[in-house]
Structure 1
Amino acid sequence: MSTDAGTSDRVAPAVLLPLVEAKTSRPQTVRAGVARQRLHDLLDAAIGKPVTLVCAGAGWGKTTVVSGWAQRHHAPVAWLSVDRHDNDPQVFWAYLLAALRVAGVVPAGNPLADLGAVPADPRERGRLFAAGLARLAAGTVLVIDDVQEIDDADVLRELTDLLRHPPALRLLLIGRSEPPLRLHRLRAAGQLAEIRAEQLAFGHDEAAEIVGRHGLSLSAEEMTTLVDRTEGWAAGLQLAAGFLAAHDGARTITEFAGNVRGVDDYLTEEVLADRTRRQRRFLLQTSICENVCAGLADAITQRTDGQRILEELEHDNDFVVRLGAKPLWFRYHQLLRDVLGHRLRVETPGVVPDLHRRAARWHAANNSVLEALAHAVSARDWAFVGRLVVTQAAPLIVSAHRAALVKILRGVPAEQLTTTPELMFCAALLLFHAGDYDGIPARLYAVRELSHDRPDSVREPVEIMSRTLQLAADRARGDMPALLAGASLLLDLLGGAKAVPVSAIAQNRAIALGNRGLALLWLGRTEEAERELWAGSSAARVAGVELTEINASGHLALLKVMSGSVHEAATLATSAVDLAEQRGWRYALQTVPAYFALALVRLERHDLDGARQAVQDGLRGHHSDPEAAQHLIGLGVQARLAAARGNLGAARKLCDEARVARTARMRMPAVDDWLARIEAAVDLAAGADPGGADPLLLARAAYLKGDFRQAQRLLAEVGTAEQDTVGRVEAGILAALLADVRGQSVQAADLLADAVSVAAGEGIRRPFLIMDDPRLDALLHRMRLLAPLVADFVGELRPSRARHPVESLSERETEVLRYLATMLTAAEIAADLGVSVNTVKAHMRAVYRKLGASRRTEAVTLAQDRGLL
């Protein structure tokens, strides 16, 4: 029968028979292939929908996975592999019919069973196949492989018509790109299942199996590198394993890249060969970027079609990946980018610096300063590198991006770092990173001298940034007078600047105010420090420099908690930490003060686990960039935490470490005083005489020794001078105890009630817990009964203690117990009883043991509590 459409309306299947077997046979999976049960499970679930799309670029293992699944599938699977020669409706439907017949799914009586040739008339063909497909056995699957090869409008229209009323047949489409079949309707109706590169990508275990089949054994770290480099791409993993095996382990996985011959050849033939000339040039030029958007692409290529081409490339294969739901930013597969970069350098090496220069300027104009710097270094545009650092990048040296900035600056040749004031400033930044604070002043002086006769547009930014860097150096080494003077000078310079953008002036002013506040804080000028830190925080918020805002708020929180204002400190510190976490800066240096303030707040509230976590967070942020004041504050906070946990040895070691860490250059009297108080408190907790001159601490020490008169005298020195919240609570507790010692029970109750009221409002618990005194237990117990409004809080301060059964006291021990309630000494008691002092002391020890007391006052209180006195 003739195949001339003009003489016949039918095409005989016989003319297609030589290719039928090849096109309708399911590809055989490799015997040693990797079993991918998770993907088979995905296909089992997907095939419940009318259409399943398996879509990914070349080499992702689409056909292999579906073929392996089809081999095990319980229902019949017909297979059709199409190519570009099938873009004729009669040919396409003839092969499709052949695939169904080969699979044995067309039963007798079906309209397709005895069909000799495919009708040429579209309406007749559509009616016939619709009727025949509708009568296939339920669950029958038809796989169409390489569906992206079909671009004939008539074939696509007829397939689309068929999908409008899906038959019992399940259609499984495999392609490198999504076919134009109006699948969006099925997707919206929930009738489309999709498996893409994300699901097809090999995980660690699957990749290890591929590597193992090549006789290789890689470490866990090497496997991670391999999977990351290939992004789980099946062909890439096979090529990498072959590369390593071919060199008998002499090559490492880090040497495997897109410019390795096998990868280059594969991607060139399978991915780049089908690209148009414009697309290929676009890919080559934009491959200099890790991520690319339309604006950046247009700047690099000097065209205006970047958005269209990026979307075309992303649609056509999974080696161009959209970042996010919207088509704004894209990236190229790492190995493809390697290939493109290699081709670019080979084919047009002269244009590469210009491409990087264009990218650098686009990023600089769009506030992507690190990307701008990286491209400027790649372009070897050293002057532009210097200008970028001075005008935009310098503040990053004290940010979470410090390491990235330093890495880029180290790409500038050493001989270039003396050629312009801006590049000399870059050298000073590297000195700062290295901790060479002594070398910075001379370098910055040279920077200012070299820029002295330059235009204001050059001189002013250089001078302002050099002063700002000097602040960072003074702050790092703990020279607070120098920091205060430098911040004041910088504020004066900013006030007279004419050639610096308003935004830069606002940002540097916020930095200067924050540093003035910090210097005043550690110099002990608390009221001035509070004003400056509030001003710095507000200025930073307005200028949009959030790290500076976080740092100022954190220091305000430290100021508040060190002054006893626990609730306000908690609010400030939590706000700063929350903002840092929202921005992804959880462990930035600027968050450290807020974490240490939170730790101190939690210590006052006796949340020891919370305090430990805050300390750990603060130390993690501070570890990579030590700053003198914060280092000492961190040691002090750790010492207080250790003491609160009862580990006084560790607390003492931390105090000693802080003392050793202090140098003559550190001028921070407020930090010194704070650490001295911590040392004294640790000494007191260990039973030693506390050093220092803190009258409240000395009063507590005198009380614990039983020297109540001295304690009363020292407490009177505190008087109204101790105005902070924690201090009022501590003084109130001690005053209540001393009143109780004097027998003034009503006054004791009133004093303790005042202390509890203040503490409850702030959540302060520590002062009550460090006084392990039965007298305080008894006072709190009575308060819990008489003051229901604070009963729960009081219960948290002194949970009910388990009472051990009291061993019976002998008659003489009972007599000695009565004397213990007096102020008589052991010798006076012995004289009164007519026995030796040693006998009295032996009875006293027996009384203490039987009552579970450790000292005289505790024994009396416990005896009163148990009705023995």
Structure 2
Amino acid sequence: MAIAILATKLMIPSPRTSVVNRSQLLALLQRGLDRRITLVAAPAGFGKTTLLSTWLHQTSHAKAWLTLDQRDNDPLRWLSYLVAALQTIEPTLGQSVQQALQAAQPAPSEQLLVSLINEIHRIKQPMLLVLDDYHVIENQAVDDMLNFLLEHMPNSMHLVLATREDPQIPLARLRARGQLNELRVADLRFNLAESSEFLNTVMGLHLPDQAIAKLETRTEGWVAGLQLAALSLQGQHDPNSFIETFSGQHQFILDYLLSEVLHQQTPAIQAFLLQTSILERMTGPLCDAVLNQTNSQSILAQIDQAHLFIVALDQQRAWYRYHQLFSDLLRQRLAQQLTQQELVALHQRASHWYQQHDLVLEAFQHATLAHDYQRAEELMIQMPLHANGFVSAMLNWLASLPNTVLDQQPSLWVRYAAILLVMGQTSGVEAKLQAAERGLEQQPNNEYTRDLSGQIAAARTTIALTQYQIETIIGQAQRAFAYLHPHNLPFRATANWALAYAYQVRGERHNTKLALSQAIELSQQANDTFTLILASIGMGQLQESNLELYRAAATYRHVLQLAGEQPQQIIYEAQLGLARISYQWNDLAAAEQHAQQSLQLALQYEQGIDRFILCELMLAQIKLAHNDLAGAKRLLDQTEQLARQHNFNQRFAEIAHLRIQLLLRETKLSNAKQLATSHQLAFCQAQSALAQAQPAAAIAILTPLQQQAQANNWPDQLVQACCLLALAYVAQGQNAQAIEWLKQALPLAEANQLIRTLLDYGPAMQQLLQLAQTHSLHSSLIDQALPLFNHSSSIKPQAKQVERLSEREIEVLQQIAAGYTDREIGERLYLSIYTVKVHARNIYAKLEVTNRTQAVARARSLGILPQT
């Protein structure tokens, strides 16, 4: 679906006719054009936008401007606006990307960026792109897209970021390469001469040098503070007395100054300022609708001319916004002066105007501010659960509501629970569902309330799934189907998806496929991308089990396309599926890349969710394939320790399976056998028996497993059983029977390129395959695998080489070196303590140390951290 472009976000703000001459800063900006990026970073009120708009109107370069807001945290929206901004330079630029973005399933953002960068490259004229207010971007996916653009954009393009905080880009690397031009608070702060020019020339005051020096010192050159002081000084009979008393806490100063400014305006202007402060952006028609009047555009122009902290957003001066601090304080005073009923009316009129102009999020936000619960709920239903900007708005509102309100509208409790589940949070969800049920007891039994009961049951299937409660999933799914309205497609899709998982665990693969097919069909009809992703992942996992690896890989890639670049935790399973398939195809580099990406996504789940365990087991498996037994053991030990610490009981068998493979490689055969027996891992028991030269015992274990796999049509287990039976019979000297068992396994293995299935059985399988060739059993898979045995066994452990730290791990390590605690690191990097500890554990493993002090010392010796 095409994203509506708000043209005012693309307008270069008009420079004021009277501004301070900042020629040195303009020269710094101009000289920085030979670098890749200019960063203008400072808190609010330091004149970043004014400086850049002045510069852009003076430079001869082609230029584009984009003012960002919270909604641009959606990667596809950000990219759409980026293209639109560049098209103000060249209208045909990025048309193919625009068309791709409007597709039902847009291509991956990196692919779209490659296309856009190639088009930019064909434009030879130098160009500037300014991204204003970049601090509103909190989505890592958008940061990654910016980094990709920055890394690959042609030399003819220069990027400018204006922000209140450092963006998530590699600033240190850019500095080291001489590619970064920086203007910060120290640069933007007014010096004494600039303060004098501003106060006396721009603001029309006639202050002595001593008074200006005092104001400059007490405001520390903060432009907005000086402007507030200047506005308050206008009309003061005793400016020296005012300046002498100009001190105190920042917020108290602002409160005083703004009240003085407001008191100097006419009652009509004061009323306009206060009542329009509820709006983030203003234009005449919107203000007219909110205030029930017809002359708002002329009043906006009057306020603009009076320098009352208003910023023009386009050259036509049709759209404006207030300075953020000014807006905040106006709203405080508005709440004091209007009755609740009057304030509600303003927000309701704003909500209706936004809805009429298809701006649903803004309409919803004003409905919530009006405490119009019914209207807010109606608008909330129109907003997709999986879109970041919408989710945060809905969650913030629901969290702000008192329980008494939620109890009166049980549907809000249900919506609250559903959104939390979409966000990967299970804590507190059951309590919300129970509250919804208590509220429903007071409601009449009708079609609407029955559907809500069905929604509650569907939500409980998801909770049960995270806790591996198979029977609960089945029971709640059946209840959901019984109560949900036939047209409630999203919740029916969710219940089918969870039911499919239960069937999969029970080995009922046919029923699994039916439930997943139903979930996919329903979610497609409902345009529910979130559940479609979940169900598609389930289908990919089923295809893996059925040894349809090529189809499974295509399914997982389709999932990544559906998700785009949004950092949804759920797609970790698609990345992990691609890691498993790449591993089977012996593409260990791709397997590791997918496993690392999967791990980063899995770590975004709240503490108590065990998703990351499987990712780390995959990484340990890859180390084992590289013959790095020490590295595999370290990672496996740490993963098992964390699983036991958090009682992830459902993962113990999977951990034990890999532990047994490691023990067999270490020839600790009795330990392997004991572990396989304690966890009742039949295939591992057979492997242990073979390793202990007990082929008859292995055959006794494997025969019923092979028969069960054959009867149930479980091809993955059938290949495993046949391979092990072949190894068992050849160990008994019954070569003919061994070849027969191998013949049963080879067609499925060859069709799916199960190279690692053969390689992981080691030298015994190598000898069996060589024997098979002498018995005229020829297979392209055998030909492909045999040379790899010697190559695989010749790979030496890389214990002396340090595994590369990720960028996030380096950030955590830097914080550790600075002496911050885990909690402080989490607050500074916006991570949970749990995630910080996981990163720290990974750092210790890669650096081969056991504590913080050793990690810092080791990192400094390797040049990862600078020497002190």
> TM-score range with shorter-chain normalisation?
0.5 to 0.7
Q: Secondary structure at the match of 2:444?
A: coil
Going from structure 1 to structure 2, the CA distance change for 1:305 and 1:471 (only over 3 Å counts) comes to farther
Which of 594, 597, 620 lines up with 2:574 in the alignment? Answer: 594
CA distance, structure 2, for counterparts of residue 190 and residue 246 of structure 1: 57
- Equivalent in 395, 413, 423 of residue 402 of structure 2: 413
Residue in structure 1 matched with residue 620 of structure 2 by the alignment: 642
Match of 2:539 in 1: 556
Q: How does 1:20-59 map to 2 (within 5 A)?
A: 29=21, 34-41=24-31
The 8 Å contact of residues 561 and 600 in structure 1, kept in 2 or not, is answered as no
Q: Secondary structure at the match of 1:450?
A: coil
Letter in 2 for 1:532: A
Cα displacement (A) at 1:766? 2.6
Is residue 585 of structure 1 aligned with residue 562 of structure 2?
no
> Structure 2 CA distance, aligned partners of 1:672 and 1:337?
55
Q: Post-superposition shift, 1:446?
A: 0.8
Instruction: State the Cα deviation string for residues 51-105 of structure 1 (Å, max 9, x = none).
Output: xxxxxx99824898699999xxxxxxxxxxxxxxxxxxxxxxxxxxxxxxxxxxx
User: Displacement, 1:540?
Assistant: 0.2
AA at the equivalent of 1:381: D
Report which stretch shifted further, 237-246 or 400-409. 237-246
Instruction: Say whether 1:448 aligns with 2:440.
Output: yes
Does the alignment pair 1:355 with 2:341? Answer: no
TM-fit CA distance, 1:451:
1.6
Q: CA 1:294–1:385 in 2, change beyond 3 Å: closer, same or farther? A: same
Mark the CA change 1:408 to 1:726 in structure 2 (over 3 Å): closer, same or farther: same
For 1:494, the equivalent position in structure 2 comes to 484
Distance 1:594 1:197 in 2: 33
Is the Cα contact below 8 Å between 2:290 and 2:349 reproduced in 1? Answer: yes
1:377 aligns with 2:368: yes
Quote the residue 1:709 is aligned against.
696
Question: Relative CO higher for 1 or 2, CA cutoff 8 Å, sep ≥ 6?
Answer: 2
Offset of residue 365 of structure 1: 7.8
State the distance in 2 between where 1:447 and 1:506 align: 24
TM-score, length of structure 2 as denominator length: 0.54
Deviations 1:139-197 (A, max 9, x none): xxxxxxxxxxxxxxxxxxxxxxxxxxxxxxxxxxxxxxxxxxxxxxxxxx999999999
Percent identical among aligned pairs is: 20
CA RMSD of aligned residues (A): 6.0
Once the two structures are TM-superposed, the CA of residue 354 in structure 1 deviates from its matched residue by: 1.7
Name the CA shift for 1:243/1:552 in 2 (closer, same or farther; >3 Å): same
In structure 2, relative to structure 1, the CA distance for the partners of 1:526 and 1:365 (3 Å cut) is farther
Alignment of 1:257-656 (within 5 A): 261=257, 287-290=277-280, 300=290, 319-321=311-313, 334=324, 337-338=327-328, 351-361=342-352, 371-385=362-376, 391=381, 396=385, 403-422=392-411, 435-436=427-428, 439-440=431-432, 442-452=434-444, 459-460=449-450, 462-495=452-485, 502=487, 505-562=488-545, 564-580=547-563, 582=564, 584-586=565-567, 588-626=568-606, 631-632=609-610, 634-645=612-623, 646=629, 647-648=632-633, 650-651=635-636, 654-655=639-640
Looking at structure 1, the residues matched to 498 and 532 of structure 2 have their Cα atoms a distance apart, in angstroms, of 11
Distance in 1 separating the partners of 2:469 and 2:317: 51
1:414-468 residue CA offsets vs partner (Å, 9 max, x unmatched)? 4434444445657877998671356345423212112226x756x3564444444
Distance 2:461 2:298 in 1: 49
Secondary structure of 1:60's partner? helix
Could you report, residue by residue, the CA deviation over 1:704-737 in whole angstroms, capped at 9, with x for unpaired residues? 2222333344443443543544444434544454
**Are the aligned partners of 2:687 and 2:724 in contact in 1 as well (CA < 8 Å)?**
yes
Contact 2:719 2:749 in 1 (8 A): yes
Distance of 2:521 and 2:25 partners within structure 1 = 60
> Partner of 2:484: helix, strand, or coil?
helix
1:773 maps to 763
The within-5 A match list for 1:698-777 is 698-722=685-709, 723-738=713-728, 740-741=730-731, 755=745, 758-773=748-763, 776=766
SS of aligned partner of 2:50: coil
Q: Structure 1 CA distance, aligned partners of 2:187 and 2:222?
A: 7
Pair 1:573–1:386, CA change in 2 (3 A): same
Match of 1:91 in 2: none
| Letter paired with 2:398 | L
Question: Bigger CA drift: 197-206 or 513-522?
Answer: 197-206
Read off the aligned partner of 1:354 and give its amino acid letter: A
The whole-number CA distance in structure 2 between the counterparts of 1:344 and 1:463 is: 42
SS of the residue corresponding to residue 491 of structure 1 reads helix
Q: Residues of 2 paired with 1:257 and 1:615: CA distance?
A: 53
CA contact (8 A) 2:447 2:485 kept: no
SS of the aligned residue for 1:474 comes to: helix
Alignment partners' CA distance in 2, 1:657 and 1:194: 49
What amino acid is aligned across from residue 527 of structure 1 in structure 2?
H
Letter in structure 2 aligned against 1:709: A
Give the whole-Å Cα distance in 2 for the aligned partners of 1:398 and 1:410: 18
The amino acid of 1:443's aligned partner reads A
Q: Which runs of 5+ in 1 are unaligned?
A: 1-25, 46-56, 71-188, 216-234, 497-501, 805-869
Deviation at 1:495, TM superposition (A): 4.2
Instruction: Look up the equivalent residue of 2:394 and give its one-letter code.
Output: L
1:549 offset after TM fit, Å?
A: 0.4
Query: What is the Cα deviation at residue 536 of structure 1?
Result: 0.3
Cα distance in 1, alignment partners of residues 502 and 525 from structure 2: 22
Once residues 710 and 43 of structure 1 are traced to their aligned partners in structure 2, the CA distance between those partners, rounded to angstroms, is 75
Instruction: Give 1:548 deviation, angstroms.
Output: 0.6
Residue 553 of structure 1 and its aligned partner are, at CA, apart by 1.2
In the alignment, the residues of structure 2 paired with residue 533 and residue 576 of structure 1 have an alpha-carbon distance, to the nearest angstrom, of 14
Whether the 8 Å contact between 1:735 and 1:751 is mirrored in structure 2 is yes
Q: Does the C-alpha gap of structure 1 residues 758 and 193 become closer, same or farther in structure 2, counting only changes over 3 Å?
A: closer
For residues 321 and 528 of structure 1, what CA distance do their matches in structure 2 show? 58
CA contact (8 A) 1:360 1:375 kept: yes
Check conservation: 1:428, 1:444, Cα contact below 8 A: no
From the superposition, tell whether residues 60 and 650 of structure 1 become closer, same or farther in structure 2 (CA, over 3 Å).
Answer: closer
CA distance in 1, matches of 2:719, 2:301: 67
Partner Cα separation in structure 1 for residue 124 and residue 680 of structure 2: 77
State how far apart, in whole Å, the 1-side matches of 2:724 and 2:32 are.
71
Residues 775 and 585 of structure 1, relative CA distance in 2, 3 Å threshold: closer
| 2:275–2:291 CA contact under 8 A, matched in 1 | yes
Give 2:684's aligned residue. 697
Q: Determine if contact 2:350/2:366 at 8 Å carries over to the other structure.
A: yes
The AA in structure 2 aligned to 1:585 is Q
Distance in 1, Cα, partners of 2:656 & 2:368: 50
Shift of 1:571: 2.3
CA contact (8 A) 1:421 1:451 kept: no
How many Å separate the matches in 2 of 1:678 and 1:364?
56
Question: For the pair shown, which has the larger CA radius of gyration, 1 or 2?
Answer: 1
Gaps of 5+ in 2: 1-17, 36-46, 61-122, 133-159, 167-181, 193-219, 230-242, 624-628, 797-868
Mapped partners of 2:48, 2:646: distance in 1: 60
Change (3 A) 1:604 1:29: same
Q: How far off is 1:288 after superposition?
A: 3.0
For each residue in 1:776-814, what CA deviation from the matched residue of structure 2 results, as whole angstroms up to 9, or x when unmatched?
A: 16845996999694544554455286699xxxxxxxxxx
2:184 maps to which of 201, 207, 217: 207
